[in-house]
Amino acid sequence: MLQGKKIILGITGSIAAYKAAYLIRGLVKKGAEVQVVITPAGKEFITPITLSALSSHPVISEFFSNRDGSWHSHVDLGLWADAMVIAPATASTIGKMAHGIADNMLVTTYLSCKAPVFIAPAMDLDMFAHPATQQNLEILKGFGNYIIEPGEGELASHLVGKGRMEEPDKILEVLEDFFSSGQELQKKKIVITAGPTYEKIDPVRFIGNYSSGKMGFALAEACAKRGADVTLITGPVSLSTIHPHIHRIDVESAEEMYGMAMQLFPQADAGILCAAVADYRPAVVADKKIKRESNENMTLELTANPDIAASMGAIKKPHQVLVGFALETNDELTHATDKLNRKNLDFIVLNSLREEGAGFRGDTNKISIIDANGNVKEFSLQLKTAVAEDIIDHLVVTLKNKSVLFEA
């Protein structure tokens, strides 16, 4: 997948710079052409001679060549590349990139780069956890850059924590994944709901559920990887999105999720409803914390929330595809089929709490897909990321079949 790809490898001043040598070797072995751009501090950690020998290209560090005074054009370099990888990326370079401080060749090249940019941070655990670094990384994500999260382990300081630059093999895998993923969903707009909803009882309490958002976020990443323009409407979760083509909207309650979904679905090609939406909310939200009374029982009056899936099903146009989930504990197939029909879905993904490793919170799921013709396809227990790929394979086929029949 990397054969013939032109990669700019940015190296900054970190002890992890030695790993860049392995990364160059891996890239070259896979047929990529590598141009190294190194910061002045980077050269303190690894010599340009090593890097130019491995990449078969002179290493660029300054704006002008020391030898003949010729100008290194960061603009040409930025246009040349199929991807730019900054590995290792220090807190300082990440900060400069986030704020456009173009005082070295690496950052000017970054600012001129039209290709996708991958950033592999490397630093001490406290520097990585500091709000300044985290905010800068969020800014870079917002620019559409990919952050290759550092791993946990022993750091150069001998402290143990998160901040170790990801291993070169893993970075190669990320790049290969990027260049290999099919783009079957290019130009498709997909709205996804994920996570739980919180229904306020009073200023300190709510009705919620155990959804972590993992399944919905995996679906969003899988769709974006295949070229879709994704809007992810999520309830309260502690996950972050990676792909730059995921537009995330955070909501809290079912009513808020309903409002966003109904506003966005008419312009979308597909909707995937993975959120665990509370069916009921307190009829009245107390404006002050409810105090414990002397009586032992308390009654909370609940009122029905809108059914987001059913409402989207009611306005679905013939070319649109709507995918629902069913989380069941008994009579799974009957309940899932009933939801499929009642909500006017094209297919429904059934997961049962009776299956070990399926449903809420964990990293795995075990699903069956039931389509509108009553066909049932069962899948084995897999990571949610792999489950998401299976669901999106099914979505791609369903969209294709519909586009043959109906014009958007």
Active site residues: 209
Considering the complex, state which of residue 139 and residue 242 has its C-beta at the smaller distance from ligand PMT: 242
Q: Is residue 279 at the binding interface for ligand PMT, with CB under 6 A as the rule?
A: yes
Considering the complex, state which of residue 46 and residue 348 has its C-beta at the smaller distance from ligand PMT: 348
Q: Is residue 274 at the binding interface for ligand PMT, with CB under 6 A as the rule?
A: yes
Q: Is residue 275 at the binding interface for ligand PMT, with CB under 6 A as the rule?
A: yes
**Which of 276, 388, 395, 396 is in the footprint of ligand PMT by CB under 6 A?**
276
Are 86 and 119 in contact, with CB atoms under 8 Å apart?
A: yes
> Minimum CB separation from ligand PMT for residue 200, in Å?
16
Question: How many of the other CB atoms lie within 10 Å of CB of 394?
Answer: 18
Are 351 and 359 in contact, with CB atoms under 8 Å apart?
A: yes
H helices present in 113-161, as ranges? 125-129, 131-142
Site for ligand PMT in 47-66 (CB under 6 A): none
> Minimum CB separation from ligand PMT for residue 382, in Å?
13
Are 90 and 156 in contact, with CB atoms under 8 Å apart?
A: no
Considering the complex, state which of residue 145 and residue 212 has its C-beta at the smaller distance from ligand PMT: 212
Are 305 and 258 in contact, with CB atoms under 8 Å apart?
A: yes
DSSP codes of every residue in 47-99: -HHHHHHHHTSPPB-SSB-TTT--B--HHHHHHH-SEEEEEEE-HHHHHHHHH
How many residues sit in the footprint of ligand PMT (CB under 6 A)?
A: 28
Considering the complex, state which of residue 81 and residue 308 has its C-beta at the smaller distance from ligand PMT: 308
Q: Which two tokens stand for residue 108?
A: 């000017």
> Which residues make Cβ contacts (< 8 Å) with residue 237, sequence separation at least 6?
194, 195, 196, 211, 212, 213, 217
Q: Is residue 327 at the binding interface for ligand PMT, with CB under 6 A as the rule?
A: yes
Q: Is residue 211 at the binding interface for ligand PMT, with CB under 6 A as the rule?
A: yes
Considering the complex, state which of residue 119 and residue 273 has its C-beta at the smaller distance from ligand PMT: 273
Q: Is residue 245 at the binding interface for ligand PMT, with CB under 6 A as the rule?
A: no
Site for ligand PMT in 104-163 (CB under 6 A): none
Site for ligand PMT in 344-373 (CB under 6 A): 351, 359-361
> Minimum CB separation from ligand PMT for residue 235, in Å?
9
- Which residue sits closest to ligand PMT, CB atoms considered? 308
- Kindly state the DSSP code that residue 341 receives in the 8-state scheme: H
Instruction: Map residue 392 onto helix, strand or coil.
Output: helix
> Minimum CB separation from ligand PMT for residue 42, in Å?
40
> Minimum CB separation from ligand PMT for residue 399, in Å?
18
> Minimum CB separation from ligand PMT for residue 369, in Å?
12
Considering the complex, state which of residue 83 and residue 275 has its C-beta at the smaller distance from ligand PMT: 275
Q: Is residue 215 at the binding interface for ligand PMT, with CB under 6 A as the rule?
A: yes
Q: Which residue has the tokens 């940015």?
A: 10
CA-based nearest residue to 366, from 375, 377, 374 = 377
DSSP codes of every residue in 196-254: B--EEEETTEEE-----SHHHHHHHHHHHHTT-EEEEEE-S-S-----TTEEEEE--SH
Which residues are at the interface with ligand PMT (CB under 6 A)?
Answer: 193, 195, 211-216, 254, 273-277, 279, 305, 307-309, 324-327, 339, 351, 359-361
